[in-house]
């Protein structure tokens, strides 16, 4: 190719924006995502602990629930097994393929390939929206909260599980130091951070919540989007349940970041 032709060639990366980068990153992690501590939710005390806030906030009546960023379908199972109708959405085909295999043939569950920031779903279609570890990675968080408000019926609920993945707590810094010592002795856990961690760091730098997401940041944004009452519960029982079966390195991981669980209500 001549130098001129080379320069005129459309640059495939020119249209590859932050969201494409996020999708590509998660797609590459789809096959091993469940192997990283804290992602898969094993049956037993940990499953019960994750499911409790879903049961408490959504109630006993079967609902139409939208799960955003379902990934490999772990949270999907929590919601589905409580008797709800679930639409599990993700924008990564690779993630949906893993989730689809796990949950094949369940009549109350449908998968949807779509962008959580612009779902194209009808107004007021859902009684509840649930998402774990999505909000921190939104590229347009305020507009997206408005989108989720639009999708909820009056009286509907948005349940968010998330955390501040940028700033470890004080105890978390000590735990991180101890994890590094264990890594040095027995070798790193490739599935936890893995070879893609530099890429993760680059994505973080470009995100609106790249400096960390806290409940205190999210609360006024939820209010601005129109939500009324906002309830909060602790992640601690989940971490305690994880520690019952985790090895030492993973026990330490449960102390690193500050996590939160919020339930925002759309006025009825």
Ligand X SMILES: C[S@@+](CC[C@H](N)C(=O)[O-])C[C@H]1O[C@@H](n2cnc3c(N)ncnc32)[C@H](O)[C@@H]1O
Segment contacting ligand X by CB under 6 A, of 8-16, 20-28, 51-59, 237-245: 20-28
Minimum distance, C-beta of residue 25 to ligand X, in the bound complex (Å): 8
Q: Closest approach of Cβ 95 to ligand X, in Å?
A: 4
Smallest gap from Cβ 71 to ligand X, in A, equals 3
The contact mask relative to ligand X for 195-234 (x = CB under 6 A, - = no) is ----------------------------------------
Region of 67-75, 165-173, 240-248, 257-265 interacting with ligand X (CB under 6 A): 67-75
Q: Which is nearer to ligand X, 82 or 182 (CB)?
A: 82
Spatial distance between the Cα atoms of 134 and 71, rounded to a whole number of angstroms: 10
Helix (H, G, I), strand (E, B) or coil at 259: strand
Q: In sequence order, what are the residues at sequence separation of 6 or more whose Cβ sits closer than 8 angstroms to the Cβ of residue 104?
A: none
26 is a contact residue toward ligand X (CB under 6 A) = yes
Shortest Cβ distance from residue 104 to ligand X (Å)?
Answer: 18
Binder of ligand X out of 49, 58, 74, 141 (CB under 6 A):
74
Please, what's the b/e burial string for 139-175 (b: 16 or more CB within 10 A of its CB; e: otherwise)? bebeebbebbbbbbbeebbbbbbbbbbbebeeebeeb
Of the candidates 43, 112, 53, which has an alpha carbon nearest to the alpha carbon of residue 74? Answer: 43
Provide the 8-state DSSP code for 257. S
Close Cβ partners of 208 (under 8 Å, ≥ 6 residues apart): 138, 139, 140, 141
Chain centroid offset of residue 187 CA? 27
Which listed range, 18-26, 46-54, 58-66, 230-238, lies at the site for ligand X (CB under 6 A)?
A: 18-26
Question: How near is the Cβ of 115 to ligand X at its closest, in Å?
Answer: 5
Q: What is the distance between the alpha carbons of residues 111 and 109, in angstroms, rounded to a whole number? A: 7
Kindly tell me which residue out of 58, 63, 75, 215 binds ligand X, with binding defined by CB under 6 A.
75
Q: What is the smallest separation between the CB atom of 52 and ligand X, expressed in angstroms?
A: 16
| SS3 call for 182 | helix
Among residue numbers 86 through 145, which ones bind ligand X (CB under 6 A)? Answer: 90-92, 95, 115-117, 132-134, 137
Q: Give the full edge-to-edge strand order of the sheet including 230-233.
A: 109-113, 85-90, 64-68, 126-132, 152-164, 258-265, 230-233
Binding mask 31-60 for ligand X (x = CB under 6 A): --------x---------------------
Instruction: Provide the binding-site residues for ligand X, judged by CB under 6 A.
Output: 22-23, 26, 39, 69-71, 74-75, 90-92, 95, 115-117, 132-134, 137
């Amino acid at each position: 190719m001549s130098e001129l032709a080379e320069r005129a060639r459309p640059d495939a990366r020119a249209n590859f924006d932050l969201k494409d980068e996020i999708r590509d990153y998660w797609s590459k992690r789809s096959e091993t995502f469940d192997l990283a501590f804290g992602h898969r939710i094993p049956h037993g005390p940990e499953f019960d602990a994750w499911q409790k806030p879903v049961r408490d906030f959504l109630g006993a009546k079967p609902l139409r629930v939208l799960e955003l960023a379902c990934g490999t379908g772990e949270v999907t199972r929590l919601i589905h097994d409580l008797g709800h109708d679930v639409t599990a959405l993700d924008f990564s085909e690779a993630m949906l393929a893993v989730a689809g295999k796990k949950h094949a043939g369940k009549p109350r569950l449908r998968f949807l390939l779509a962008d959580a920031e612009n779902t194209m779903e009808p107004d007021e279609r859902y009684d509840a929206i649930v998402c774990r570890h999505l909000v921190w990675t939104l590229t347009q968080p305020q507009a997206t909260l408005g989108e989720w408000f639009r999708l909820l019926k009056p009286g509907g609920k948005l349940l968010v599980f998330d955390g501040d993945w940028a700033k470890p707590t004080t105890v978390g810094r000590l735990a991180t130091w101890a994890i590094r010592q264990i890594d040095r002795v027995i070798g790193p856990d490739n599935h936890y951070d893995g070879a893609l961690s530099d890429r993760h760091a680059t994505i973080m730098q470009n995100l609106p919540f790249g400096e960390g997401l806290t409940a205190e940041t999210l609360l006024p944004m939820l209010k601005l989007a129109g939500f009324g009452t906002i309830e909060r519960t602790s992640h601690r029982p989940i971490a305690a349940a994880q520690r019952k079966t985790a090895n030492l390195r993973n026990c330490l991981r449960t102390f690193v970041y500050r996590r939160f669980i919020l339930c925002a209500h759309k006025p009825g």
